Amino acid sequence: MCNKYLYIAVWLGSLALIPTGASAHHPGIGGVGGAGGITTIGAGTMEQGEFGLALFVEYTRLKQLSDATLLANIGNDVHGLQSVESRVVALAYGVTNDFTISMRLPFVRRTGILEGVQDDPSDPPSINNRGNTSGFGDVTVLGQYRFLNNLASETQAALLFGFKAPTGRTNLVDPFGETFEAEFQPGSGSWDGFLGAAFSQRLAPLWAFHANVLGVLTGTGTQDTNLGNRVHMPTRVRIPAWSPRPRPQLLPTPTSRLMQCSSSMASGTTSSERPGSSIQTPAAIRSISRRVCG
């Protein structure tokens, strides 16, 4: 039972960080953007009729650009940014034992948006504090169909497919009446498609290998922005939260069970690929973990 609920938690965690694009000091467009790390999606699916719900909070604090840098790049589309915050509701449902469908609903906030400006060549350049942006982001839907489930070798493989819908706002304006650039809008304005595959292999009674490849087919969104198509290939080796068949309790003692839960939930912590730090707290999942596994 503990493994069952932890698998649902980790599966929802992988959905919460489906990758989208990012560039330098412009972390993504719509939703959480490229603010966080990439969580590997395993090939296991939820059982038919199972339903999962999780709440995630991700916070990325960036190193703000200096005034000198901003002033030296007036007209070059260089902006300062203090932080990116995302609150995600993740839902998942087992349509069959081999097909799971899930949805990701993000609310995004970006703070400390700065820009160097010089409206008149006769005037000295200055820094505009354009404030913050916040709003509902783009909804992501992901399907996972497991086409291989070998109980003897404990090998699983699945097809991944889905899309991102342009549900987020794209018309926010700053205090000066200027429309924010696409990278600061909660929504992207584009339809994006996902296609890939996932693989899971148990290596030992307590260890498993997971890998996936996920291609992102990006459409053109607001302000004619297109981040280009890309492919993500994360892998991990971890104590598995899934089990393709009923098995005895792997860690029978209370202390060992708590260690198992902690190890499984640790995959929810993300790291940032740009200056600063990123913290993700799947609060609802941790609550479920403590209640079921404690």
Q: What is the pLDDT of residue 18?
A: 55
Mean pLDDT (whole number) for 61-83: 92
Tokens of residue 49, six digits: 């009729």
Q: Rounded to 5 degrees, what are φ and ψ at 140?
A: -115, 135
Q: Per-residue b/e over 228-256, b at no fewer than 16 CB within 10 Å?
A: eeeebebeeebbbbbebeeeeeebeeeee
> Which residues, 6 or more positions from 212, have their beta carbon under 8 angstroms from its beta carbon?
40, 41, 42, 43, 160, 196, 197, 198, 199, 233, 234, 235
Number of folded domains that form the chain: 1
How would residue 12 be classed by pLDDT, with cut points 50, 70 and 90?
low
pLDDT in tens, 41-71: 889 999 999 999 999 898 999 999 999 999 9
Alpha-carbon torsion (219, 220, 225, 228), positive or negative: positive
Q: What confidence score (pLDDT) does residue 30 get?
A: 37
End-to-end CA gap in the chain: 12
Give the integer Cα–Cα distance in Å for 5 and 43: 16
Q: What are phi and psi of 187, to 5 degrees?
A: -110, 165
Total-model pTM: 0.69
- Give percent of the chain above pLDDT 90: 56
Least confident of 14-18, 97-101, 154-158, 218-222: 14-18
Question: Where does the pLDDT of residue 102 fall: very low under 50, low under 70, confident under 90, or very high at 90 and above?
Answer: very high
Residue 270 pLDDT > 60: no
Burial of 62 (0-12, 13-18, 19+ CB in 10 A): buried
pLDDT band at 238 (very low <50, low <70, confident <90, very high): low
Lowest mean pLDDT among 39-48, 98-107, 128-137, 191-200: 39-48
- pLDDT on residue 205: 82
At 120, is the pLDDT very low, low, confident or very high (cuts 50, 70, 90)?
A: confident
Rounded CA gap, 112 and 115, in Å? Answer: 10
- Residues 256-272, mean pLDDT to the nearest whole number: 31
Does residue 234 carry a pLDDT above 90? no
Amino acid at 40: T
Choice among 24-28, 154-158, 159-163, 289-293 with the minimum mean pLDDT = 289-293
Residue 234 neighbours by CB under 8 Å, 6+ apart: 38, 39, 40, 211, 212
> What is the pLDDT, as a whole number, of residue 260?
33
Q: What is the mean pLDDT of residues 11-34?
A: 43
122-178 confidence digits (pLDDT tens): 889 999 999 999 999 999 999 999 999 999 999 999 999 999 999 999 999 999 999
| Residue from 102, 105, 108, 138 nearest 218 by CA | 138
Report the SS3 class of residue 47: coil
Burial of 204 (0-12, 13-18, 19+ CB in 10 A): exposed
Is residue 90 within 8 A of residue 9, CB to CB? The reply is no
How confident is the model over 103-116, as a mean pLDDT?
95
- Mean pLDDT, residues 184-193: 95
What range defines the domain where residue 269 resides?
A: 2-293
> What is d(CA 81, CA 255) in angstroms, rounded to the nearest whole number?
43
> Average pLDDT of the chain?
76
Name which of 67-76, 116-125, 259-268 the model is least confident about. 259-268
Cα 171 to Cα 110, 134, 223, 255: the distances in Å are 15, 11, 10, 52
